[in-house]
Amino acid sequence: MTTLFYALGVLIFAVGILASIGLHELGHMIPAKKFGGKVTQYFVGFGPTVWSKQVGETECGVKAIPLGGYVKIVGMLPPGAAQLADEVTTDAEGNQVVKVRKSNTGLFTQLISDARAAEWETIGPEDSERLFYKMVWWKKVIVMAGGPTVNILIAFTLFWIVFGTYGQRSIEPDAGRPVIDEVSQCVIPYVDNRTTCTSSDPISPAAEAGLRPGDVVTTFNGTPIADWDQLRTLIRGNSDGDAVIGYERDGRQLTGTANTTVEARPTSQTDQTLRQVGFLGVTPTTHTQIQTGGPLYTLDQMGTMTKQSVQALATLPVKVWGVAEAIAGVKDRAVDSPVSIVGGSRMAGETVSDAGFPLAEKAVFLMLLLAGFNLFIGLFNFIPLLPLDGGHIAGALWEAIRRGFARLRGRPDPGYVDVARLLPIAYCVAGVLLVMGVVLIVGDLVVPIHIES
């Protein structure tokens, strides 16, 4: 039964991701057609075609590798100046066809020329007014922004459902002077994916001071303690200095001494940036606080998530390198390392099959997991680099700026921005993304992150 539930969790997550991919591509295709563009293909997945059906002028279908999707919009690349000389010819039956003359004056030039040739082999004279590169710049922006915007809207909808019904739940310390709930017996680095002590781990300052669960902390280095937040601030600011801890146990006033160690710990519950701070090794008794809200609350929370996601994107290469080190056995995998769709599927499977999670929490976790993936994918695609959607958006905006300046200065129209010239960069970016994707997939298979109930 556990295996069946695990498979069910994986299936639900996989279907959710495939649906998100399909909607992302619809976000490109619908406005492209609305603006008169020609879309010849709409596929979810890559590789060999599993199923397809011709719907009007668009072939719609599913491919074997469910790691993305694409729509083929005709005329993404404008013809090069050298190719226009032989652009239109006539075949044996008297029909006009577009012929692109290739160039082979260098590796990058050849790559660009081949890409143009492949693009224009499927374009006929009847398509001349339906080419993407000829669209007004703002239409290009809408078409290319449509996909990632859909992902962000999916994330908003899922977050709104969760926040409006189940609520956002956080663990908060009990009010008043902190009552110790747990005492760490050793100091385990935060980035280590484990909870048990080893012989090499140093004893924690709290254990050294003789603290036990149930003790009430009353003073820290002579300062009376009113609540956990105050104690936490004092501990973190003490670095590796001496600590004299006053506490109450069974009605008796006792004192313990220790030397707080310095550890890399999250800045706060909402900011997971690691900072070197003082560490004692105690956790207070807590209660669950529930916060519900509507669209405005959801937008506010997504604003915080967006900030965190942008920070995560900035450190993504470093964190992927950390996963590679974990695969090689150099160090343990960090609990906050990124995961691939494979890793997300494993988390979904483990959550659904774990008897320790109530049914409602399983459903909420799956929705939050899908929402988080959609938010990250949406933001990631807005990065202004080809082959990402943001690269095409940046090209359209640059075209608008360049033409606007030309009009203001009374100069000739500079024409369309030739994104084909950036293809060498696009190939490099695609190569880097492919390598990072493979590393994360292998990492999720070899050193996966597990969900604990």
* Token reading at 404: 């606007």
Q: Do 215 and 249 form a contact (C-beta atoms < 8 A)?
A: yes
Is the separation of the CB atoms in 286 and 227 below 8 Å? Answer: no
Catalytic residues: 25
CB distance 89 to 99 below 8 Å:
yes
Q: Which has the closest alpha carbon to 187: 171, 208, 169, 201?
A: 201
27: left (phi over 0), alpha (psi -120 to 50) or beta: alpha
Q: Which residues of 190-217 are buried (b: 16+ CB within 10 A; e: fewer)?
A: eeebeeeeeeebeebbbbbbbbeeebbb
β partners of residue 147: none
Which amino acid is present at 372?
G
Between CA 27 and CA 396 the distance in angstroms is 17
The H or E element spanning position 108 is: helix 107-120
